[in-house]
């Protein structure tokens, strides 16, 4: 590329820079060295994945389904847990008999016990290399005063309480293998908006995972948190969300409905559709790539922001002062239009 003379000149120029600006050059060189070492460290892989078992929850569709197929192709011994029998059959149909499936309902303690028993028998003395807590649901989701306790329970029981129970019951198998736990949180666990149990549950997953990581480090167990932005999966399915919103809206008391105004519901749906179309990425492999890294890298990361919206918008916004994130979210999200104001005015008139 360079002849000897040019190379000599470059070297001389570099030496001059070192002498003229030592502080700058030390900083510059350190940044490059740190960046290179981090990149190399991050790219190192574990060995013998053909002998390592990974257990994934929520494999009926979405991230879990794709992850099961990918890890299976990569050579891991995959045990995929599905909520339904159909989920198991569909997954088996598109993989090979070496991929094992098991039925799991994370809100049912007996169902978890059965899954643990099955995985303990499959893994034997080796223990479990990876547990991926992926099962989750988003609905009921909606303005806070549209919801009752049952609505909160339905989400929290799956996304948080279920995840904790699965983790506690699988922990002995994980410790045996000095394995990994990969918990699926969300950018909405870092920045809460859109009422309901979803943000609460994901914030709880963040917090539970942080404690777990600190407690388990002495046993060689690593804990990673995945924070996906918006992706097209069953969780963000407009059909399911809209159907449930209709249910919530229709059961509102006249007072609450009046405070939002008659036109609010249609506007809310419209904004919901538009924001899902704008934000949701169809490429869910961005999320499964993070999970794969957490399971196959020698040094898994603590947190993985998945998707550009997460990396460049939601996660940075979660560090912003509340007044700033409030303004931005107010611009993005639907709000009670005429309804709220009309009610306030009536009150004044009375
Ligand atoms: C999961 O278990 C809970 C608690 O036993 C039960 O109420 C629920 O119907 C179950 N869900 C499915 C899909 O089987």
Residues 250-282 pLDDT 10s: 999 999 998 888 888 888 888 888 888 888 888
Is pLDDT of 301 > 90? yes
Is pLDDT of 349 > 50? no
Quote the pTM value: 0.90
pLDDT single digits (tens) 129-163: 999 999 999 989 999 999 999 999 999 999 999 99
Question: Quick one: pLDDT band at residue 111, thresholds 50, 70, 90?
Answer: very high
What are the residue boundaries of the structural domains of the chain, listed by start?
46-233+281-320
Sheet holding 222-228, edge to edge: 100-103, 77-82, 53-56, 130-133, 180-184, 222-228, 303-306
Of 133, 118, 131, residue with least CA distance to 171: 131
User: Ligand 1: which atom is nearest the Cα of residue 84?
Assistant: 13
Q: Is the CB of 43 under 6 A from ligand 1?
A: no
Check: CB of residue 98 under 8 Å from CB of residue 77: yes
What's the pLDDT at 19?
87
Mean per-residue pLDDT, 56-68: 97
Check: CB of residue 213 under 8 Å from CB of residue 302: yes
DSSP-assigned letters across all residues of 60-85: SSHHHHHHHHHHHHHT-EEEEEESSH
Q: Is the CB of 112 under 6 A from ligand 1?
A: no
Please choose from 61, 105, 114, 156 the residue to mutate so as to test ligand 1's pocket, defined by most ligand atoms within 8 A of CB: 105
What's the pLDDT at 333?
75
Is pLDDT of 346 > 60? no
Question: Percentage of the chain surpassing pLDDT 90?
Answer: 71
**Averaged pLDDT score across all residues of the chain:** 91
Token reading at 3:
């002849």
Is pLDDT of 348 > 80? no
Mean per-residue pLDDT, 76-80: 97
Q: Among 15-19, 122-126, 222-226, 251-255, where is mean pLDDT lowest?
A: 15-19
Is pLDDT of 120 > 80? yes
Mean per-residue pLDDT, 58-62: 96
pLDDT single digits (tens) 155-207: 999 999 999 999 999 999 999 999 999 999 999 999 998 889 999 999 999 99
- Sign of the Cα pseudo-torsion (207, 213, 215, 221, in order): positive
Q: Is the CB of 87 under 6 A from ligand 1?
A: no
Question: Which residues are CB-contacts of 175 (< 8 A; sequence separation ≥ 6)?
Answer: 127, 216, 219, 221
Distance between Cα 97 and ligand 1 center (Å) = 27
Burial of 343 (0-12, 13-18, 19+ CB in 10 A): middle
Mean per-residue pLDDT, 21-32: 90
Is pLDDT of 53 > 60? yes
What's the pLDDT at 279?
81
Say how many residues make up the chain.
350
What's the pLDDT at 341?
52
Of 166, 146, 162, residue with least CA distance to 154: 162
Which residue in 118, 198, 268, 304 is the catalytic one?
198
| Residue 198 annotated to the active site | yes
Burial of 308 (0-12, 13-18, 19+ CB in 10 A): exposed
Q: Would you tell me how many other CB atoms lie within 10 Å of the CB of residue 157?
A: 17
What's the pLDDT at 350?
33
| Cα separation, 337 vs 262, whole angstroms | 10
Is pLDDT of 30 > 80? yes
| 143 phi/psi in degrees, rounded to 5 | -50, 140
Three-state SS letters, 198-228: HHHHHHHHHHHHHHHHHHHHHHCCEEEEEEE
Distance between Cα 188 and ligand 1 center (Å) = 25
Q: Is the CB of 83 under 6 A from ligand 1?
A: yes
Q: Is the CB of 285 under 6 A from ligand 1?
A: no
User: Ligand 1: which atom is nearest the Cα of residue 110?
Assistant: 5
Domain 46-233+281-320, CATH class in plain words: alpha beta
pLDDT single digits (tens) 92-107: 999 998 999 999 999 9
Distance between Cα 177 and ligand 1 center (Å) = 31
């Amino acid at each position: 590329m360079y002849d000897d003379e040019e190379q000599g000149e470059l070297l001389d120029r570099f030496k001059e820079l070192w002498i003229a600006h030592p502080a700058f050059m030390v900083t510059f060189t350190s940044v490059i060295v740190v960046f290179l070492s981090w990149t190399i460290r991050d790219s190192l892989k574990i060995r013998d994945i053909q002998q390592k078992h990974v257990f994934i929850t929520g494999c009926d569709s979405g991230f879990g389904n794709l992850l099961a197929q990918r890890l299976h192709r990569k050579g891991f011994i995959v045990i995929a847990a599905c909520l339904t029998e159909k989920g198991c059959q569909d997954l088996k149909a598109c993989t090979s008999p070496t991929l094992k499936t098991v039925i799991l309902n994370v809100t049912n303690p007996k169902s978890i016990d059965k899954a643990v028993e099955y995985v303990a028998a499959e893994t034997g003395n080796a223990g479990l290399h990876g547990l991926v807590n992926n099962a989750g649901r988003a609905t009921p989701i909606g303005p806070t005063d549209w919801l009752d306790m049952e609505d909160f329970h339905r989400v929290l029981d799956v996304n948080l309480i279920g995840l904790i129970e699965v983790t506690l019951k699988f922990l002995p198998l994980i410790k045996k293998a000095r394995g990994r736990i990969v918990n699926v949180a969300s950018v909405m666990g870092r920045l809460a908006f859109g009422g309901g149990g979803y943000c609460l549950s994901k914030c709880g997953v963040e917090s539970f995972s942080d404690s777990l990581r600190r407690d388990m480090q002495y046993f060689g167990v690593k804990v990673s948190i995945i924070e996906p932005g918006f992706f097209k999966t069953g969780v963000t399915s407009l059909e399911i969300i809209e159907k449930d919103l209709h249910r919530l809206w229709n059961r509102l008391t006249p007072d609450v409905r009046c405070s939002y105004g008659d036109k609010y519901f249609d506007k809310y749906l419209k904004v919901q559709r538009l924001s899902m179309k704008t934000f949701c990425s169809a490429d869910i492999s961005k999320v499964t790539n993070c999970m794969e890294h957490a399971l196959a890298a020698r040094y898994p990361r603590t947190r993985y922001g998945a998707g550009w919206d997460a990396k460049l918008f939601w996660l940075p916004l979660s560090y912003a002062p509340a007044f700033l994130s409030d303004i931005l979210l107010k611009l993005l999200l639907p709000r009670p239009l005429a309804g709220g104001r009309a009610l306030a005015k009536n009150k004044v008139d009375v």
